[in-house]
Amino acid sequence: MEGKGIQKGMKFAFALIITLLLAGDVFASEKEISNGDKDKRVMTPERKKQHHAMSIIEKQWNLAKKAMDVGDFQTAGMVVEKILEEAVSVENYKPYKNADKPKQYLEDYNFFRETLIKLKEAINRKEKTIGEISKSVDEACKRCHGKFR
């Protein structure tokens, strides 16, 4: 009984966080600036946008994973949907490394996108593969970062 109460509370907390996340980009701005300074990489308006998008995606993805952990699939599905919307811009990034390999970049992008779509479908059907596909999404982040970040 007590466990159920906690779970309800968690769900409420997630709903709140999501509302905040979707309402504004409050969380993203500070990090993107400090990261850019630290790396001493040339910051163009385009890159500023992609840093921003990435940090939003990171927060959304962490949220989706937490929602899946507590079994809140409705929230998880919603957040994955949002990531998919945000991820459209990832296709056109100007990566810092290996910018001369657009074909490989596109492959990594497509893997990322396809994995997210698979995850969303699995969540909708509450399939057992959710955990496994989640790991593939983590892998997709790493795969692209390894070459292009």
Question: Contact 21/27 with Cβ under 8 angstroms?
Answer: yes
Task: Compute the distance between CA of residue 141 and CA of residue 111 in angstroms, rounded to an integer.
Answer: 10
Closest distance of CB 13 from ligand HEC, Å: 21
47 binds ligand HEC (CB under 6 A): yes
- List Cβ neighbours of 67 (8 Å cut-off, separation of 6 or more): 14, 73, 75, 76, 79
Q: Which of 8, 125, 135, 149 binds ligand HEC (CB under 6 A)?
A: 149
d(CA 44, CA 55): 17
Confirm or reject binding of residue 135 to ligand HEC (CB under 6 A): no
Q: Is 108 in the site for ligand HEC (CB under 6 A)?
A: yes
Stretch of 11-19, 48-56, 65-73, 120-128 lying at the interface with ligand HEC (CB under 6 A): 48-56
Helix axes 130-148, 102-124, angle to 10 degrees: 160
- By CB under 6 A, residue 51 contacts ligand HEC: yes
Cα–Cα distance, 72 to 76 (Å, whole number): 6
d(CA 80, CA 62): 10
User: Is 91 in contact with 116 (CB distance < 8 Å)?
Assistant: no
63 binds ligand HEC (CB under 6 A): no
Contact between 61 and ligand HEC by CB under 6 A: the answer reads yes
Residue 33 interacting with ligand HEC (CB under 6 A): no
Question: Closest separation between CB of residue 126 and ligand HEC, Å?
Answer: 21
Q: What residues line the site for ligand HEC (CB under 6 A)?
A: 31-32, 35, 47, 50-51, 54-55, 57-58, 61, 90, 93, 95-96, 108-109, 112, 137, 140-141, 144-145, 148-149
